[in-house]
Amino acid sequence: MTAPTYSRSDFQTDQEVRWCPGCGDYTILAAVQGFMANLGVARERIVFVSGIGCSSRFPYYMNTYGLHSIHGRAPAIASGIAATRQDLSVWVVTGDGDGLSIGGNHLIHALRRNFNLKILLFNNQIYGLTKGQYSPTSEQGKQTKSTPMGSVDYPFNPISLALGAEASFVARTIDMDRTHTTEILQAAYEHQGTAFIEIYQNCNVFNDKAFVQLTGKEERAINRIDLVHGKPITFAGGEKAIVLEDGRAKIVETSSVDSSRILVHDETRSDPTVAFALSRLSHGPYGPTPLGVFRKLSRPLYETVMSQQLIDAQAKRGPGDLATLISSAGTWDVK
């Protein structure tokens, strides 16, 4: 079958894009539409599922199938689609509020189960749709409408959370770098399993310049750590490097250590310990922060194993009998 030929405009809809002017969501939308145009997959084979929030308007702007679903429940709904329609490319768009607060439980279980779906978590460290309350990723001391004296909550580290949930693919990118975002999207698409991508996304109304240390011209030159599979992890023009010391990732002057001590990035390690150590280099976009694929592990798809179980059960027991099932062991009469 010949792959369809698309341009970005083929993935644009007739809906007015209604985000605040200057919002990082515009850049992410452009990157995803451009990526989809070059993917060679028919639009009818693509589904976007979202929850509630600014990011969750995404399905309106993608000329594919889509579902604007329930607050926090997008991963659960997308899991059902992936389980029953294995021929579809299923994508989830969520935010730090939708995905990590009310939807936290759904997110971690989708990650551990390893359905073939791709989760894009837009992290702007604030509730944007409801006008600026603190979110599960807001830094301690954050003063907002809901925390006028400063937040006392300790924030989630989404990458650490995903690794702890045994996600088979974990990555981070940033809205301002469309090239890098596209590379991460491609890697996630090619991965067989649940892929989790945290996207740092600027909210220029309620949390402007939250990621300036990774986007500012001078700041990013010394703070951005690019993770490249098979390459020693160095940054700041090669002047800084990452080593492992007592199980922890540590930043050192490159000239102060033998080159053999510099950590070589291996995203395919089955043990997530090193990836987790890298995720702890920064608890947010403050100072040196890794971007790229932290982990990419091959693991059986949930829906494949589930489908085989159903086939095996039918072969062993024959067609199901609901009446027999209801009256089988484990039932009793209440008088």
Range of the domain at 93: 8-210+299-303
Distances (CA, A) of 192 to 90, 158, 328: 12, 21, 39
Query: Which residues are paired to 66 by β-bridges?
Result: 48
288: its two tokens: 């040196």
| pLDDT tens column, 118-168 | 999 999 999 999 999 999 999 999 999 999 999 999 999 999 999 999 999
What 3-state DSSP class applies to 33? helix
Query: Is 117 inside a domain boundary?
Result: yes
Instruction: Report helix, strand and coil shares of the chain as percent, to nearest 5.
Output: 35, 20, 45
Q: How many domains does the chain have?
A: 1
Q: How far apart are CA 107 and CA 156, in angstroms?
A: 13
Query: Is 316 inside a domain boundary?
Result: no
Query: Is 243 inside a domain boundary?
Result: no
Distances (CA, A) of 69 to 48, 123, 174, 270, 301: 10, 19, 25, 34, 24
DSSP 119: E
200 and 211 in contact (C-beta within 8 Å)?
yes
pLDDT at 264 over 80: yes
Q: What percent of the chain has pLDDT over 90?
A: 89
State residue 284's pLDDT score. Answer: 86
Query: Is 27 inside a domain boundary?
Result: yes
Residue 68: in which H helix or E strand, if any? strand 65-68
Report residue 3's pLDDT band, with 50, 70 and 90 as the boundaries.
confident
Q: What is the mean pLDDT of residues 6-11?
A: 97
Closest C-alpha among 81, 77, 16 to residue 52: 77
Query: Is 63 inside a domain boundary?
Result: yes
Query: Is 19 inside a domain boundary?
Result: yes
45: its two tokens: 């084979």
pLDDT at 186 over 80: yes
What 3-state DSSP class applies to 127? strand
Mean pLDDT of the chain: 94
The CATH number for 177's domain is: 3.40.50.970
| pLDDT tens column, 199-215 | 999 999 999 999 999 99
State residue 318's pLDDT score. Answer: 75
Report residue 313's pLDDT band, with 50, 70 and 90 as the boundaries.
confident
Query: Is 58 inside a domain boundary?
Result: yes
Query: Is 244 inside a domain boundary?
Result: no
